Structure 1
Amino acid sequence: MDLRYLGRSGLQVSRLALGTMTWGRDTDTDAAAAALEAFVEAGGTLVDTANVYGDGAAETIVGTLVPSVVARSAVLLATTTVGAGGGRGPLLAALDGSLARLGTDHVDLWQVHGFDSGVPFEETCSALSLAVSSGRCRYVGVSGMTGWQAATLAAWMRAVGPAPLVCAQAEYSLLDRSGESMLHPALDVHGLGFLAWAPLGRGVLTGKYRHGTPADSRGASPHFARYVGRHRTDQAARVVEAVVTAADGLGTSPLAVACAWVLGRPAVTSVVIGARDRTQLLASIGAESMELPAEIRSALDDVSAGA
């Protein structure tokens, strides 16, 4: 699996990142272990988690599997703090909680989710800087921010902080291209890498929901039904049919086509894949080496325009 530098930093990450959103809920420890092992065997390095996944259970599972299944030196641990606001105290306390669950004294990448308009952005930046200077993390980034929000923090951190922002994370797929207008240009100007999550449109682009809701799918899960439902629209259905048609013509799966489209976008550094098990993971890994023909990429660009 190819590696790329994350923004203008010395941190190299794999082109695919292993997402853990379902760990501790739909994915148990054994299934998570099999997926993690397969991911590392394929050359993957970046493992992405968050304090809210499974109410902390995902981080606990990651902390159990690293280093019992794979060595700590074999992976880069990234975690995101969600729901703590922008205050220095709550952010650092949340990070300390994540470190305890992960069973480590530092993460390789710490990301803060959301822009807290009730707190001076300088305070949020100071928390990010302190996390690096105290050794709690090696690099810092943001998640779930608009272009101007990410740009504001990036400019302050580069001018004042001891450690610049290196990346932003946001949803990006054929069903959600909203970041292209403002976020992606801001990241380019400030030299930030981009971690794209939900490349399969929260599972909708696999085609599994074309004729209903499979009982074993996230769409049928009480935890993720609303999460998936956001992309079950008439416009999304047209995009899905285009992806299925492309996959049939190429002799591959809709999953591979959807993932390959995101991997081929110029703004994307790494794509976070959230497989529930080893089989799903291996299918996504196969897309990393896939090159979509120009005419198919152009057709997908057209049908998904405005998403």
Structure 2
Amino acid sequence: MEYRSLGQSGLKVPVLSFGAGTFGGSGPLFSHWGTTDVEEARRLVDICLEAGVNLFDTADVYSNGASEEVLGQAIKGRRDAVLISTKASLPTGDGANDWGSSRSRLIGAVEKALKRLGTDHIDIFQLHAFDASTPVEEVVSTLDQLVNEGKLRYIGVSNFSGWQIMKSLAAAEKHGWTRYVANQVYYSLIGRDYEWDLMPLGQDQGLGALVWSPLGWGRLTGKVSRGKPLPEGSRLHETADFGPPVEDELLYRVVDALQEISGETSKTVPQVAINWLTSRPTVSSVIIGARNEEQLRQNLGAVGWSLTDGQIARLDAASAVTAPYPHFPYRRQEGFARLNPPLAG
């Protein structure tokens, strides 16, 4: 397993990490992701560690905390062998202080997460969304306090826009507080919006991307293809509305290219899709999920080999869309491109 620095930090993370959203699944969304119990979770953790995957990602809203609880039980007795990533900020109840990133909420959320996970520290703690109702100084100073207390080791964000990240980083810079080093983002061959603002920001400011939903909410699993209806058992029947929309022609164009390269490499469609992501600039780790051992072993096969430059170029071309203003001139006009050259991998 390849290990990479998490942004401009000293923490090394595996290029593939495991998403524990399937652990303890309940509710309209997470029950369709999976319902992995503690015994099954231990087996999946065993397989991950054998393969060198030691980073496990969860969140307090995943099945109302059950994901953190199951993960905590699954790693019991081997805490020093793993890295835990979790998140907070989204609503966990109907109370006035059951959502957001206020000092009160964050301190309470971290204490509850530590208890559910059965640990005294969280390796990577991320804000699950930007809280416009709380001053960034309050948020970042609270996270800095929790880092200084040893409860958090590294901090980051998820689902933030570029200006929201920069405003937070500016506050940290001004006051000498702990800076974000991670940005957990949606990124896939059918969702490349990350590249327009957040990727250049990440490279400039030293944020490593932790990529979630690398298979485009299940659209790039190899079960969806041009001219065929959605398979009966596909989770997309229940979860498609939770993810960003994808135009049919873009999806089928990408799937066509994936299928061709799958045949050339003797790798599966999802393995090719994940491998493409590992070659992208700023990507520190791609979070893979699995409801069972077979799915996990297949996803682990996405690394340890490389696509050719030609194959990457074909995937780039198949997945390309016109970027919104003010980004599109950079791709079309030589003068703009000279001022803003493509990012290096």
In the aligned structure 1, how far is the partner of 2:244 from the partner of 2:174?
41
The residue type equivalent to 2:190 in the other structure is L
Aligned-CA RMSD value: 1.8
Residues matched between the structures, number: 303
In the aligned structure 2, how far is the partner of 1:75 from the partner of 1:16?
13
Q: Which residue of 1 aligns with 2:339?
A: none
Select which of 40, 47, 59 maps to 2:49: 40
Residue 27 in structure 1 maps to residue 35 in structure 2:
yes
Q: Which residue of 2 aligns with 1:213?
A: 230
SS of the aligned residue for 2:76 comes to: helix
Give CA deviations for 1:235-276 in whole Å, capped at 9, x if unaligned.
222212221121122221101100000011122111111122
How far the C-alpha of 1:159 sits from its partner, in A, is 3.5
RCO (CA 8 Å, sep 6+): is it higher in 1 or 2?
1
How far the C-alpha of 1:161 sits from its partner, in A, is 3.9
* Structure 2: runs of 5+ lacking an equivalent: 26-33, 91-98, 323-345
Checking the alignment, whether the CA contact within 8 Å between 1:22 and 1:274 is kept in structure 2 is: yes
The residue type equivalent to 2:81 in the other structure is A
The residue type equivalent to 1:54 in the other structure is S
SS of the aligned residue for 1:217 comes to: coil
Give CA deviations for 1:11-52 in whole Å, capped at 9, x if unaligned.
111111100112112132233222111001101111111111
Q: Which residue of 2 aligns with 1:72?
A: 79
Checking the alignment, whether the CA contact within 8 Å between 1:219 and 1:228 is kept in structure 2 is: no
Residue 50 in structure 1 maps to residue 67 in structure 2:
no
Larger radius of gyration: 2
How far the C-alpha of 1:219 sits from its partner, in A, is 1.9
Give CA deviations for 1:123-156 in whole Å, capped at 9, x if unaligned.
1111211221122111111111112211221232
Checking the alignment, whether the CA contact within 8 Å between 2:140 and 2:177 is kept in structure 1 is: no
The correspondence of residues 245-264 of structure 1 with structure 2, limited to 5 A, is 245-264=260-279
Percent identical among aligned pairs is: 38
Q: Which residue of 2 aligns with 1:296?
A: 311
Q: Which residue of 1 aligns with 2:187?
A: 172
SS of the aligned residue for 1:21 comes to: helix
Select which of 116, 120, 131 maps to 1:116: 131
- Please, what TM-score do these two structures have when normalized by structure 1? 0.93
Residue 61 in structure 1 maps to residue 79 in structure 2:
no
Structure 1 residues 33, 231: closer, same or farther in 2, change over 3 A?
farther
Give CA deviations for 1:88-114 in whole Å, capped at 9, x if unaligned.
111221222211111112111100021
In the aligned structure 1, how far is the partner of 2:164 from the partner of 2:43?
38
Q: Which residue of 2 aligns with 1:8?
A: 8
More moved, 254-263 vs 282-291: 282-291
- Please, what TM-score do these two structures have when normalized by structure 2? 0.83
The residue type equivalent to 1:133 in the other structure is N
In the aligned structure 2, how far is the partner of 1:135 from the partner of 1:299?
46
Checking the alignment, whether the CA contact within 8 Å between 1:146 and 1:183 is kept in structure 2 is: yes
In the aligned structure 1, how far is the partner of 2:57 from the partner of 2:315?
28
Structure 1 residues 95, 229: closer, same or farther in 2, change over 3 A?
same
Structure 1 residues 21, 212: closer, same or farther in 2, change over 3 A?
farther
SS of the aligned residue for 2:85 comes to: strand
The residue type equivalent to 1:195 in the other structure is L
Checking the alignment, whether the CA contact within 8 Å between 1:197 and 1:271 is kept in structure 2 is: yes
The residue type equivalent to 1:50 in the other structure is A
Select which of 271, 275, 290 maps to 1:275: 290
Give CA deviations for 1:174-231 in whole Å, capped at 9, x if unaligned.
01110111001111111111111111112211121333333443224x4x34236834
Q: Which residue of 2 aligns with 1:105?
A: 120
Checking the alignment, whether the CA contact within 8 Å between 1:18 and 1:47 is kept in structure 2 is: yes
SS of the aligned residue for 1:306 comes to: coil
In the aligned structure 1, how far is the partner of 2:146 from the partner of 2:296?
32
In the aligned structure 1, how far is the partner of 2:232 from the partner of 2:74?
29
Select which of 165, 169, 179 maps to 1:154: 169
How far the C-alpha of 1:299 sits from its partner, in A, is 0.9
